[in-house]
Amino acid sequence: MKKVIIERFDRERMRGFVNPQTFLLPAGLELLSPDGSLAQVPYEQIKAVSFVRDPDGQGVLAERRTFLARPKTAGLWIEMKFRDGDVLEGVLPNNLQALDPYGYTLSPPEAAGNAQRVFVPRQAVLEVPVLGVIGGKRKRPEGGPATQQIRLFSEE
């Protein structure tokens, strides 16, 4: 079980635990509250789900939301524009197999903050532009003709 803070569009926070393999259901997210009750939160109400170190701390939306410089983590550097006008940057895995039909799981800008990973439902965002590709492998020409240095002056 992972500790999470769900931040909703009505500014209410829900704290609890999720099973990382089964918490995403077709109708919403399954949350086990600290008192032991199980709830299903509809995706339309969720703004962001922060997987946190300390459940009594802050979620990702209370921390720094943009990178101060180009991120160093490999992946797609993206900017999420929420329905309410907020913005959050993050790094998505550069792997199309890792994309979930219900939303996006990303690394937040504040690496030392309380939020380690963030899940954002597709219904919460208006657009997700890619700002850059970090750490991609570059193709180098293979076995092409060797280039020689040109001579500027005749040798005597």
3-state helix, strand, coil split of the chain in percent (to 5) is 10, 40, 50
Give percent of the chain above pLDDT 70: 91
Q: Which residues neighbour 66 within 8 Å (Cβ) at sequence distance 6 or greater?
A: 79, 87, 88, 89, 109
pLDDT at 123 over 80: yes
The pLDDT of residue 116: 94
CA angle, residues 6, 11, 13, in degrees to nearest 5: 30
CA–CA separation, 85 and 1 (whole Å): 32
pLDDT at 5 > cutoff 60: yes
Partners of 2 in the β-ladder: 18
Spatial contact of 113 and 127, defined as CB atoms under 8 Å apart = no
Region 74-98: what's the mean pLDDT? 94
Residue written as token pair 């002056």 = 153
d(CA 130, CA 76): 7
9-18, 116-125, 129-138: segment of lowest average pLDDT: 129-138
Task: Report the distance separating Cα 51 and Cα 153, nearest Å.
Answer: 65
- What does the alpha-carbon distance between residue 55 and residue 45 come to, in Å, rounded to a whole number? 20
This prediction's pTM: 0.84
pLDDT band of 143, cuts 50, 70, 90: low
Kindly state the average pLDDT of the residues 62-79.
93
Cβ(31)–Cβ(16) below 8 Å: yes
